[in-house]
Chains A and B, each alone.
Chain A
Amino acid sequence: MDVAPIVEVLGAHLRFTGDVALDDVDFRMFPGEVHSLMGENGAGKSTLIKAMTGALRLDAGTMRLDGKVVSFSGPAAALHAGISTVYQEVDLLPNLSVAENIMLGREPRRFGHIDWALMRSEAVKALAVMGIDVDPRSPLSSHSLATQQLVAIARAISRDVRVLILDEPTSSLDQDEVSELFRIIRELKARGVAILFVSHFLEQVYEICDRITVLRNGKLIGEYKTTEMLRIDLVQKMLGSDSANLTVIEAREQSPAGPGGRKAVVAARGLGRRGATLPTDLDIFEGELLGVAGLLGSGRSELARLLSGVDISDTGVLTVHGRRRHFRQPRQALREGIAYSTESRKVEGIVAELSVRENITLALQADRGWIRRIPRARQDELSVSWIEALDIRPADAERRAGVLSGGNQQKVLLARLLALAPRVLILDEPTRGIDIGAKVEIQRLIGDLAANGMSVVFISAELEEVLRVGHRILVLRDREIVAVLDPDAVTFEMLLAIVAKADGDD
């Protein structure tokens, strides 16, 4: 290739306490090209973007801009160098006017005062480029989320931008707004701007992007030309199929294939929530291991959150042990024996500043109420036995849970829920971002639990894993269940095809 990359990241390496977020990642962007960064949750997309925009500092690795090594002290420095970013969550000031938002930080001045007239006309110019017609004096909060998103983009491109980073810009836009955005992206592309377009909508990626870089678990999988990459191959690269650990797990026990005479513990009929899950029918049987497969954005977590009372359903009926239930709080689901383990350990799982012991006993204590404190001796006994059973390391119950590695934090979370002796355990990506050893242990543990009569719902982005662990496999796409499969009757390739919806395009 004769064109030199405008941005080049080499050997990027970054760790957060315990977890590797980026591991020797190379990445480059060319002028006049739209590049997509693909990967599941925790692949390292956001981390890489933050490193490129100066919001995070790399532990190792270099970044070049126009061939010169740069190191940004902060987002302002990156902005100054011509790298503009529009984040997924609109990071504007809702109580200021549209014009003020667009010109924020570089308000035109005259005699030391802000030149409001010039500011408005500049803002109008920026909005005109985007083809949006709003009053620059109106407060930003008076507009829809989509308009706010477009204003954020107008703000980003109204500067002298050379590299534009769009982190899931389309997640709140409708079809027309998306095509409007794509028109603008093509214009910028023609002007020689390098654009990074992050989205989990494959269709959009294939429509607009020239080049794709795939990350998985913080590692670079590869850089590909969009035209040379089949959709199904892309999905496979994103989800991975490391057969390395295949041999470690013994063959799944022969269990009664069909749920046959078993009772449904949980039954959902038309259960749904506007904007998250389409009305869904689902049965979870006693002692079964239900694998759930689906891409990011397929609604896999949303369904789990409905079943466990984290989110409130607005349609349909949920019955637990034959009784109708409408959960408004996770507490109510826990009372019924339905426990949910979140996919975002750090944000809503671990209570980082409390000890491992306090984390393990938290749900049990909450269940008993604040007055009846679990006696300290019992707490010690409980935490020690769970630390031993799950092999949590370091085996120190008084250690702050926040300093443990991802895999061990996951085990602490599991222990917290298992201490409740739930009847249904819903695990949302319990093996994400943890090392292979811990992964295999957790998979094995899940198998044991189901063998002892617990129903386990196992959500994972790794199809191999779902296929290997599950007794039945549920496939979600576009917020609904599209298939229920017998793992013995499907191959990895078949499952991949259903998940990626390979029919009808390519």
Chain B
Amino acid sequence: MTSWLKNLMKKRIMWPVGALVVLILVNVLYRPSFLKITVLDGRFYGSLMDILRNSAPLMLVSLGMCLVIATRGIDLSVGSQMAISGAVALTIISHSPTPNSLATVLGAIGVGVLITLLFGIWNGFLVALLGIQPIIATLVLWLAGRGIALLITGGFITTINSAPYKTIAQGNVLGFPVEFLIGLAAIIVVVLLVRRTALGVLTEAIGINPAASRLAGVRSRGIIWSLYGLSGLLAGVAGILYSSNIMAADSNAAGNGIELDAILAVVLGGTSLAGGKFTLGGTVVGVFIIQTLASTVTFLGVPSANVSVFKAAVVIVVVVSQAPMVRNWFGRQFRSSKTASPTATPVAMERTAA
């Protein structure tokens, strides 16, 4: 086995990328048109474009989730926050005398996203300052969020007619869907924010060893707090995308269950739920796996009752293939027999030693 292939095998991100490639190959096998992109009226069409476009809300939510998970946390409230931002934005537009003015729409979006930012900060307050377990702290808003959204819309599904708002999810710029471009922009902004500053490495330090980070003078509290805020903000934008797609604020359906898909995307991408090292690239691939899977299921005509079983099967394969035991086993198959014996002391022992 050549060395570059070995190095490739070692890279964690290769596993999710491999899974995505296999998934795409399966699709190509069943529908050769899968990879085809046609240009019509200066716009790109095709299954791949659909996947890129539809993945945007999950992408936004997963990027935030990835950073929160890196701090040893979790944010269950993202779906509910999507409902809130949609409800706020659409209520403002529907009450406005000028629903078609760009200023109204931008203002409505601004307020909607600002409110979820505040809710994210609330989550951060519970976790970072009060020290409540993240899963419980964010469960509060997971429960209450949809109620708040319903209160805002008065219990109805608010629908609107607003051309600028419709453009967000359904418009095109330079032939690309706006929704996709927003997702792309989010990836770029978050990656720059995390890797061009020291936010990423400090977040990893906190996630790997909080005690050591404290002794080194890292402001863990502030960092954890702002990451929950960021997660809220991204969920807010995702909620705007969702409501723009259906031009309605459906507080019960918006982002329903998306928190679990986001966690799955993060884990599929190779970031451990135990916190610490994270990979935004892996998370992006994880989102595409989930979205491609959804598209595959629809195309293969899997009866809707069986969709979750099908999804579960794929997830099991990907997750199991990433388990340390399986990875080590694969590693041993590829290694020559001379170097086969791994170190005598497993990591678990190092931890118990103290």
Contacts and interface: CB of A to CB of B under 8 A. Distances in A.
B198 A365 contact: yes
Contacts of B205: 351, 354, 358, 362
Interface string A336-350: 000010101011111
A350 B217 contact: no
A330 interface: yes
B343 A17 contact: yes
A16 B350 contact: yes
Contacts of B339: none
Nearest to B226: A370
A330 B215 contact: yes
A363 to B, nearest CB: 4
B219 interface: yes
A368 B219 CA distance: 11
Interface stretch (B45-53, B78-86, B117-125, B206-214): B206-214
Given A17-B350, A56-B352, A352 B208 contact: yes
Contacts of B350: 16-17, 346
A143 B315 CA distance: 46
Given A365-B202, A370-B202, A373-B197, A350 B212 contact: yes
B197 A370 contact: yes
Nearest to B199: A370
Interface residues of A, number: 44
A349 B215 contact: yes
A372 interface: yes
A366 interface: yes
Contacts of A310: 214-215
Contacts of A57: 349
A135 B216 CA distance: 46
A16 B349 contact: yes
B37 to A, nearest CB: 37
A181 interface: no
A17 B350 CA distance: 7
Contacts of B214: 310, 329-331, 348
B198 A373 contact: yes
Contacts of B215: 310, 330, 340, 342, 348-349
B352 A50 contact: yes
B303 to A, nearest CB: 42
B242 to A, nearest CB: 31
A346 to B, nearest CB: 7
Contacts of B204: 351, 353-354
B77 to A, nearest CB: 24
B223 A59 contact: no
B211 A371 contact: no
Given A21-B353, A55-B352, A330-B217, A348 B211 contact: yes
B216 A366 contact: yes
A345 to B, nearest CB: 9
Interface in B22-68: none
B260 to A, nearest CB: 26
A374 interface: yes
B354 interface: yes
B345 to A, nearest CB: 6
Given A331-B219, A373-B196, A366 B349 contact: no
B297 interface: no
A334 B196 CA distance: 25
Interface in B85-99: none
A62 interface: no
B281 to A, nearest CB: 17
Nearest to B348: A56
Interface string B329-354: 00000000000000111000110111
Interface string A386-409: 000000000000000000000000
B213 A351 contact: yes
Given A50-B352, A56-B349, A372-B198, A367 B217 contact: yes
A372 B213 CA distance: 18
A46 interface: yes
B72 interface: no
Interface of A: 14-17, 21, 46-47, 50, 55-57, 59, 310, 329-331, 334-335, 340, 342, 344, 346-354, 358, 362-363, 365-374, 416
9 contacts: A50-B352, A59-B344, A329-B214, A330-B214, A346-B353, A353-B277, A358-B205, A366-B216, A370-B197
Closest 5 CB pairs of A and B: A348-B211, A331-B217, A373-B198, A366-B217, A363-B216
